[in-house]
Amino acid sequence: MGIPIPDNKKLILFDGVCNLCDSSVQYIIKHDKNDVFRFAALQSDLGKQIINQFNIDTQKTDSILLYTPNKGIVYKSTAALKIAFYLGFPNHLMAIFLIVPAFIRNWVYDFIAKNRYKWYGKKEACMIPTPELKNKFLN
């Protein structure tokens, strides 16, 4: 089964119960001036479908994924930096950190991801988008 996203959009899969992830999604929506991104929680049916389709080990990657049609999935710090690139100035300047080796970037990313619930908290359920934002979220 295909992933229901137009070729000109990118899909961000995020931890729907993580407060840090939720704040990040809200930030991306606010700065996504070119309407590039769509969103789905990893816990959603679509999130589970993608996890299965790409054989993603959620023990190793459990907070953010970026899916681009015809290119596939990128994870962790690479996903975060590629997302920043599409948000325009000054956010796109963060993409310079792609020159740092992934194992170093991902060590920092994993440290934050491992502590995100302790530092930022956790929700009981995934956020429900407002009617104005509903078209940006896929099930």
pTM for the model stands at: 0.87
Q: pLDDT digit string (tens) for 21-52? A: 888 999 999 999 999 999 998 888 888 888 88
> What digits encode the pLDDT tens for the residues 107-125?
999 898 888 888 988 877 6
In this prediction, residue 17 carries a pLDDT of 77
Over residues 64-102, the pLDDT tens digits come to 899 998 888 998 999 999 999 999 899 999 999 999 999
Which of 3, 38, 23, 64 has its CA nearest to residue 133?
Answer: 38
**Cβ neighbours of residue 6 under 8 Å, at least 6 residues apart?**
69
